[in-house]
Amino acid sequence: MVDVAIIGHGVVGSGVAEIILNHKDLLTEKAKNEINLKYILDIRDFENVPYADKFTKDFNDILNDDDVRVVIETAGGATFAYDYVKACLLKGKSVVTSNKELVAAKGAELLKIAMDNNINFLFEASVGGGIPVLRPIAQCLAANDLTEITGILNGTTNFILTKMIKDNMQFSDALSMAQRLGYAERDPSADIDGHDAARKICILASLAFGKHVYPDQIKTDGIRGMLLSDIALNSNMGYVTKLVGNAKVLGNGKITAAVSPAVIKKSDIISSTEDVFNIIKVRGDAIGDVAFYGRGAGKLPTASAVVADVLDCIKHLHARKYLFWDEGDKDYVVNPDTVAFSYLVITDAKNSDAVKSEFAVSDVCEENGNVAFTLKKTAKCDLKAKMEKLGINDYRIFRVID
């Protein structure tokens, strides 16, 4: 029998407890070992759950119990969670977490502690909720030189954009609906301003390219205030509007990474990823493109990935799963605004002639007083400088994903 403990009884933590208790026989069979949920740490009282006897408010109950071999952290944040996870790893307990904020900020350090102690630190649920993506990158795609990752990494914003595109719903109404359905983070700015997706692209890029990418190295733009008219114009140009995370190897030991509103050809598999679903497309030199698709948020999808990691820890109590990356450095991630990409720009139709005279424009579409145009590859900082030279201040930029 292996004792486990859960830190945090929120949406994900309660889902993990339910799966461990409801699937006890199935999990025992798969782990070839009985999983005993011994403690749940939370400062709140939960008297009406069938496992009320397992709650503690004292972290030391878990830390000092040598029978607890696996600790599951679902509390979130990078302050208390960091202290708890680090303490458990230093005590020789394997840790499983769904906490992208923690892994994005401290992943390299915590992986090193796990390696030094010959235990596991696993976090499949931190990216893409229930979608298996980190393990496939670390294991199944290990023979590839991975060069680019592109994805819809936030279910809330994808849900909002889908409601705007399909139901003509205003941004604020769609956000309220996402919050009611429990998709949004406690502070929805983490979703709509792109920070949640940025944390996930940090984790994906760190794992795929081998060196830690920190959240403050990601150029991050969200979808706050996205206009229905822009979404319609993008559609007329043949594109679907999405919030996309991208990380790309540039050569010379450097990468670039960003989260930004983007447009994607309607025929691309990323475009057909709707509602709360996520997709992560990985490019490797041998495999070409491979995509991972599924539910990127929600209680049970996320808990499903957490419990699978717990099983892996139990099956490897005396061995390490290969999952590792090195600390990063400040010059590793190049500002994407200085790298040439394709862009679609929308501005007032009165600027149409000026724009056409200044830019190498490929497609143009005018509608309801706005003009949209796509540009040959250019650096965003040059694009902005040219718009400033033309005296155009009111415009929106979408990266064209190809």
The residues that are catalytic are 200
User: Least Å distance between CB 204 and ligand HSE?
Assistant: 13
Residues in region 283-342 near ligand HSE by CB under 6 A: 296-297
Stretch that binds ligand HSE, among 62-70, 152-160, 221-229, 392-400 (CB under 6 A): 152-160
User: Least Å distance between CB 134 and ligand HSE?
Assistant: 14
Tokens, residue 310: 């717990």
Select 278 or 347, whichever has its Cβ closest to ligand HSE: 278
- Position 222 contacts ligand HSE (CB under 6 A): no
As a whole number of angstroms, the distance between CA 196 and CA 16 comes to: 21
- Position 156 contacts ligand HSE (CB under 6 A): yes
Helix ranges (DSSP H) in 210-351: 228-236, 299-315
**Contacting ligand HSE (CB under 6 A), which of 191, 193, 230, 309?**
191
User: Do residues 56 and 335 lie in contact, with contact meaning Cβ atoms separated by under 8 Å?
Assistant: no
Stretch that binds ligand HSE, among 70-78, 150-158, 319-327, 358-366 (CB under 6 A): 150-158
User: Do residues 9 and 42 lie in contact, with contact meaning Cβ atoms separated by under 8 Å?
Assistant: yes
Stretch that binds ligand HSE, among 80-88, 183-191, 218-226, 230-238 (CB under 6 A): 183-191
Q: Which of 327, 307, 322, 316 is nearest to 94 (CA)?
A: 316
- Position 185 contacts ligand HSE (CB under 6 A): yes
User: Do residues 142 and 132 lie in contact, with contact meaning Cβ atoms separated by under 8 Å?
Assistant: no
- Position 193 contacts ligand HSE (CB under 6 A): no
**Contacting ligand HSE (CB under 6 A), which of 74, 94, 97, 154?**
154
Select 42 or 101, whichever has its Cβ closest to ligand HSE: 101
Helix ranges (DSSP H) in 76-154: 80-90, 100-116, 134-135
Question: Residue 247, CB half-sphere, CA atoms under 13 Å: how many?
Answer: 31
Residues in region 54-113 near ligand HSE by CB under 6 A: none
User: Least Å distance between CB 224 and ligand HSE?
Assistant: 15
Select 8 or 155, whichever has its Cβ closest to ligand HSE: 155
Cβ neighbors of 355 (< 8 A, separation 6 or more) are 345, 347, 361, 371, 373, 390, 392
User: Least Å distance between CB 128 and ligand HSE?
Assistant: 8
- Position 184 contacts ligand HSE (CB under 6 A): yes
- Tell me 200's DSSP state: H
Select 37 or 198, whichever has its Cβ closest to ligand HSE: 198
User: Least Å distance between CB 76 and ligand HSE?
Assistant: 10
Burial group, residue 174, by CB count within 10 angstroms (0-12, 13-18, 19+): buried
- Tell me 136's DSSP state: I
User: Least Å distance between CB 238 and ligand HSE?
Assistant: 27
As a whole number of angstroms, the distance between CA 209 and CA 242 comes to: 24
Question: Residue 238, CB half-sphere, CA atoms under 13 Å: how many?
Answer: 9
Ramachandran category for residue 252: left, alpha or beta (phi over 0 → left; psi -120 to 50 → alpha): left
- Position 8 contacts ligand HSE (CB under 6 A): no
- Position 148 contacts ligand HSE (CB under 6 A): no
User: Least Å distance between CB 70 and ligand HSE?
Assistant: 22
Select 226 or 383, whichever has its Cβ closest to ligand HSE: 226
Count of other CB atoms within 10 angstroms of residue 311: 17
| Binding letters toward ligand HSE, positions 122-141, x by CB under 6 A | -------x------------
As a whole number of angstroms, the distance between CA 172 and CA 196 comes to: 19
Stretch that binds ligand HSE, among 15-23, 109-117, 184-192, 235-243 (CB under 6 A): 184-192
Site residues, ligand HSE (CB under 6 A): 129, 154-156, 183-185, 191, 196, 296-297
